[in-house]
Structure 1
Amino acid sequence: MKFICLGYFDEAKWAALPEAEQATLMEECMAYDDELRRGKHFLGGEALGAAANAVTLRMKNGGVDVLDGPFTETKEILGGILLLEAKDLNHAISLMSKHPGVKNGPFEIRCADETINQQIAQRNKQFNQ
């Protein structure tokens, strides 16, 4: 099964860490990602840029409203996405609970919607022929 793991963090807390501590935590995360790769669990991932450069789109009065930044009720923002292969949700929880990134903020783990992802893959094939 595929899982999408959304890593959240508080940008202000991160910025307050000394650079050496930031570098150490990032290296710990990368090393654990390598462990996931060796176990054939790491399918991919992406780090996200600063929230200050983000926008949120919402429908409003029949049109699209563009809001500056992520529109959330928390200081923690989405920092990255990790694609994980695991037997089931409990296995995904077990793998991600060891990820050093959890020290810096929560991870949301969600099962991929394989039905819709197959539809997306089919449409991608149509455009890549």
Structure 2
Amino acid sequence: MQYMCLIYNAEDNGPQPGTDEFGPYMQSYVDFTQEVQDAGVMVGGNALQPVATSTTVSVRGGKSEVVDGPFAETKEQLGGYYILDCKDLDEALHYAAKIPDAQYGRIEVRPVMIFD
């Protein structure tokens, strides 16, 4: 079963670019990605551009509304994701706990509904 691990964190939380901690932090993502690839569970994943680059679209009464920014004004924003093909939720949670931002933010794990 596929699970999407949604990575939520405040953009200013955790190691920041230009600090001594940032290099090891990014390396931990490289290491995690390699681990799930080696385990054969990685389907895909990417980081997202900063929240300031987002645009939200909604349609009300047949009219499109477009606003700059994310859907919700919250402290933690969606920063990236992994899609993992795991045998069960327990395995997906095991890997989610290893995602580096689990130490600073939250990882939401949701089953993927696949339409064939």
What is the TM-score normalised by the length of structure 1?
A: 0.81
Instruction: Sort the Cα spacing of 1:112 and 1:54 in 2 relative to 1 into closer, same or farther, 3 A.
Output: same
Q: CA deviation at 1:81?
A: 1.3
Q: Distance in 2 between matches of 1:15 and 1:110?
A: 26
Q: CA deviation at 1:45?
A: 0.6
Counterpart mapping for 1:50-65 below 5 A: 50-65=50-65
RMSD (CA atoms): 1.8
Structure with the greater alpha carbon radius of gyration: 1
Instruction: Write the deviation string for residues 38-96 of structure 1: whole angstroms up to 9, x where unpaired.
Output: 11011111110011011111122321111111021411111011010111111100121
Partner residue in 2 for 1:82: 82
What is the TM-score normalised by the length of structure 2?
A: 0.89
Local SS of the residue matching 2:20? helix
Partner residue in 2 for 1:49: 49
Higher share in helix: 1
Local SS of the residue matching 1:19? coil
Q: Distance in 1 between matches of 2:91 and 2:13?
A: 30
5+ residue gaps, structure 2, are none
Q: CA deviation at 1:23?
A: 2.0
2:9 is aligned with 1:9: yes
Local SS of the residue matching 2:28? helix
Instruction: Sort the Cα spacing of 1:94 and 1:39 in 2 relative to 1 into closer, same or farther, 3 A.
Output: same
User: Percent of counterpart pairs with the same letter?
Assistant: 32
Partner residue in 1 for 2:25: 25
Q: After the TM superposition, which parts of structure 1 deviate over 3 Å for at least 4 consecutive aligned residues?
A: 14-18
Q: Distance in 2 between matches of 1:32 and 1:68?
A: 32
Aligned residues between the structures: 116
